[in-house]
Amino acid sequence: MALGNRPASRRCLHACVQARRFGAVTRDALVGTTLAGYTLVDRVGEGGTATVYRATHAEHGTVAFKVLREKLRQDRTAVARFTREAGFGTRVQHPNVIRTIQTGEENGVPFLVIEWAAGELLESYAKRHAPFPPDEVCAIVSQIASAVFAAHQAGIVHRDLKPDNVMYDHESRTVKLLDFGIATATDTTPDQRLTRAGFFVGTLMYVAPEALSGEIVSPAADQYSLATMAYLFLTGALPYTARSPRDMFTQLLSQPPVALNKAKPELQFKAEVEAVVMKGLAKLPSDRYADVVAFADALCTALKDPFPTATPSGGLLSKMKGLFGR
């Protein structure tokens, strides 16, 4: 049975949903064992660097138990990234951030224990349902902004903000931010935070232009990524139309994004809505909002009355509202 059809998937973690990408979930040598007091019940997913298990604990109940893959345990870079994720996750305490319960090493196996979250990846939800109703866009964006702002206040830039790193429970409209694996501390030296042109971390469709052009990556880069997500939630499309990574790289650096009201002919928002989103997508970090919360607040204010007034011929306003009739 597909994960999405199981009632248990309502209590699933990022990698649990991702298990579909890697084929059938199979048992392995760690299933049934106990590490650091956690009994590993089954393997729910595997990514490029880590394997995630559903585990139980006498005090914490059901949790997600993440271990670095065996082939990477001697790789200093992989171990450092895994450790960094654990450290940054511990530093950010917020209701919209996946809670880090424990980190450590047992029998030579680095591990990270995090809460078992409700819902599914926002990426999967968006593929089925975008564009979202304006009030749902506001609910999602404001929660993500609040979580990301908490990270910024803790001196952390996420650097990989995207729907695939957010869990979403549609019933409660609650989001949980995931994966600080490539986050960076804002109190490191400029050389440590510098990304050379042509070399970047993150996901190309959501990465800020300055991350590609060799500039210092600041909290403004996360705002750009969030604005890209908002664009997707409002239109079901992305602000750049390139079909290849090379073309996407070029467009991000040298071309303006497609204006919000040109993304889909059938979708027309008031100028105020378009202006907020496009400001968040400004090429220069200094041209964006002061912080992610300011962006989210401006967007939610504009979305209170998002559509143009109906024309004399009628139908424009009702047609727009009909697009979000679920």
By annotation, the residues acting in catalysis are 160
Q: Which helix (H) or strand (E) holds 148?
A: helix 134-153
The strand order across the sheet containing 166-169 reads 120-121, 166-169, 174-177
Helices (H) and strands (E) in the chain, counts: 11, 11
Q: Which residue, chain included where needed, has tokens 């450790």?
A: 83
Environment class of residue 197 by beta-carbon count within 10 Å: exposed (0-12), middle (13-18) or buried (19+)?
Answer: exposed
Contact call for residues 221 and 159 (beta carbons, < 8 A):
yes
User: Which of 166, 48, 82 shows the shortest CA–CA distance to 117?
Assistant: 166
Query: Nearest-5° angle of CA 282, CA 287, CA 292?
Result: 80
* Residue 132 identity: F
